[in-house]
Amino acid sequence: MHEMSLTESMVRIIEDQARAQNFFKVKTVWLELGQLSHAEPEAMLFCFDAVTKGTIAEGAVLELIRTPGTAWCLDCGESVEIARRYDPCPKCDGHKLQVTDGEDMRIRELEVE
């Protein structure tokens, strides 16, 4: 389960920002999670609760913002939304797709005290 290490890294980033920006408690974390990121949303939520125990984010709410996967279709020359990496183009049914977005995971916002 790589979600555990992803969540641990996220908490380290939050703690680094707490030191840099002088906050002491995190109430809410908004996390953008791309459709093609290979991270399971339910596992991220579970791991967040486990990993934040004893940290400044203990008790914080993790709000997931799902971002769509997008790709450029080399066959029809269109930018299209895809749910999975190897899906065909929804416009022309071609398979020559170059992923352009939706693979990332980023902390968008923190509510802190």
In tens, the pLDDT along 85-99 reads 899 999 999 999 999
pLDDT of residue 2: 86
Query: Can you tell me the mean pLDDT for 27-38?
Result: 96
Percent of the chain residues topping a pLDDT of 90: 96
Joined tokens for residue 89: 């183009």
Mean pLDDT of 7-31: 97
The CATH number assigned to the domain holding 25 equals 3.30.2320.80
Q: How large is the C-alpha radius of gyration of the chain?
A: 17
Give the orientation angle of helix 3-21 with respect to helix 41-51, to 10 degrees. Answer: 50
Taking residues 9-30, what's their average pLDDT?
Answer: 97
Helix (H, G, I), strand (E, B) or coil at 108: strand
Range of the structural domain that residue 17 is part of? 3-112
Number of structural domains in the chain: 1
Going by pLDDT thresholds of 50, 70 and 90, the confidence category of residue 1 is low
User: Residue 79: phi, psi to the nearest 5?
Assistant: -90, 125
